[in-house]
């Protein structure tokens, strides 16, 4: 009887946890999609209208989307409230560090797809964003928006 009660309680808890986790992944992906639209718009404008090399445009666009995603993920995905300004700055710094792995993957994939496979730079950037998504989510949830003890 006790075993059934513990088992039922565990299933209920982990079922709710799984549902919350999937909601966060969906919200993180939604925020990432808005960041991708911002990223692609900036890289397009800088490359086609201001005539900046697409790799430099990509770095600027990625930084803008990092700031955008940090803000929206803090508010929408994780509903995280920072205790003070220094905690906010520390989290912003951590998010930039966490995003660095995604940035490296993004830039490397963008360059390889565009230069070696001759794929149009905007489509290459879209593919690079998708490649970087998983690592960004994993690092962000464990390093930036963690549960307080």
- How far apart CA 33 and CA 60 sit, in angstroms, is 17
Token couple for 61 = 């666009």
pLDDT tens digits, 14-49: 455 567 678 888 888 899 999 999 999 999 999 999
- How far apart CA 84 and CA 30 sit, in angstroms, is 27
pLDDT for the residue 145: 72
pLDDT for the residue 127: 94
Q: How many C-beta atoms lie closer than 10 Å to residue 148's C-beta?
A: 5
Instruction: Enter the pTM of the model.
Output: 0.79
* Segments of the chain with pLDDT less than 50: 2-3, 5-11, 13-14, 149
pLDDT for the residue 10: 46
């Amino acid at each position: 009887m006790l075993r059934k009660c513990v088992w039922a309680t565990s299933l209920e808890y982990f079922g709710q946890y799984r549902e919350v986790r999937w909601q966060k992944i969906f919200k993180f992906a939604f925020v990432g999609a808005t960041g991708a639209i911002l990223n692609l718009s900036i890289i397009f404008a800088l490359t086609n209208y201001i005539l900046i090399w697409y790799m430099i445009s990509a770095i600027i666009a990625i930084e803008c989307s990092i700031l955008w995603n940090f803000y929206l993920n803090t508010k929408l995905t994780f509903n995280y409230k920072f205790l003070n300004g220094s905690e906010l700055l520390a989290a912003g710094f951590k998010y930039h560090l966490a995003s660095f792995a995604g940035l490296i993957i993004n830039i490397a994939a963008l360059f390889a797809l565009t230069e070696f496979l001759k794929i149009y730079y905007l489509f290459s950037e879209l593919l690079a964003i998708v490649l970087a998504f998983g690592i960004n989510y994993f690092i962000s949830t464990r390093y930036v928006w963690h549960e307080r003890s």
